[in-house]
Every structure is written in structure tokens, then in C-alpha cells.
Amino acid sequence: MSFFSKILDKLGINQRDDVAPAPSTTSTAASSPPSMPTTPTTATAPGLMPDGSPAPIAIVDVEAQLEQRAAAHGQKLNWRTSIVDLLKLLDIDSSLDARKELAVELRCPPELMQDSAKMNVWLHKMVLAKIAVNGGKIPQSLLD
């Protein structure tokens, strides 16, 4: 599981797979009359609509969820500006090594990786943007 996937999991955001699962090939011939062809069904395949198209991504109100977590947390954390605080709220490793791992995964420019403050600012913006792309409702003010 990728580092970013852990973030989505903690937020309850299910990433849509890029590849649709293969339809079931289980034969129902024993329960069907011989004249009726058996066809696989995609209606029950996860992530697919009855017509086989990808299901829409469910929207998760990330702001409300993080505010609720922050209110219940013993430490004052500012997830709106700090990647460290955001990761702490989600109970994910926020160490420099962990943030570097996340930065590499999200393809942080090498020149920013040399300065942890610049990397953190970039990482915070990128994580929020990627959460939004994956179905998380993020305030526009945090995405600008």
C-alpha cells in the first residue's frame, strides 16, 4: 500500500482502481435452461455501474472530518497549513523520513527535497489537491 493510499484510507476515501475488475466467469448453466446463454454480469462488480461504466467517486467532507478530529485531539494541530499536523491527525507517521517517502511518491521536485520547509509546503498543497481529485471535499481556499 502506498503512503498516499494510507491517507485516503484514513479519510474513508476509496480510490477508484484504474483497471476495472474482470467480470465473473462463473457458469450458471446448472440453474439456467440450456437454451439461455450465460453472460457475465458487471452490475455487481465493485466500482462499476450496471452499464459497466465506472461508478462516480463518493465525495467525503474532508474539512469536517479533520475539524472533528482536531477538536477531539489532545494537542492543538493546524492541519490547514501543516503537513506534519495533517499526518498526526490521521495517525500516520509524520517523521521527516516518512514525509520524504511521501514526497518521492508524489514526485516532489528534487530542488525542494533539499529544503524540508519548502518540501513541506509543496507536500501539503499536493496532498490536499490529490485528496480533492480522489473524492475529498477540500475548501477552495486551501487549494489555491
Nearest Cα to 14, choosing from 77, 74, 59, 67?
A: 59
| DSSP β-bridge partners for residue 137 | 61
Do 62 and 93 fall into the same domain? yes
Q: Is the dihedral angle over the CA atoms 75, 60, 144, 90 positive or is it negative?
A: positive
* pTM score, whole prediction: 0.70
Do 21 and 44 fall into the same domain? yes
Do 48 and 118 fall into the same domain? no
DSSP structural state of residue 60: E
- Domain hosting 81: range is 3-14+57-143
Q: What is the pLDDT of residues 2-17, one digit of tens each?
A: 999 999 999 999 754 4
What was the pLDDT predicted at 40? 43
In which band, very low, low, confident or very high, does the pLDDT at 47 lie, cut at 50, 70 and 90?
low
Nearest Cα to 24, choosing from 46, 6, 7, 8?
A: 46
- Give the number of domains in the chain: 2
CB 55 within 8 A of CB 39: no
Do 102 and 70 fall into the same domain? yes
- Could you tell me which residue, 41 or 3, shows the higher pLDDT? 3
Over 70: is that where the pLDDT of 43 sits? no
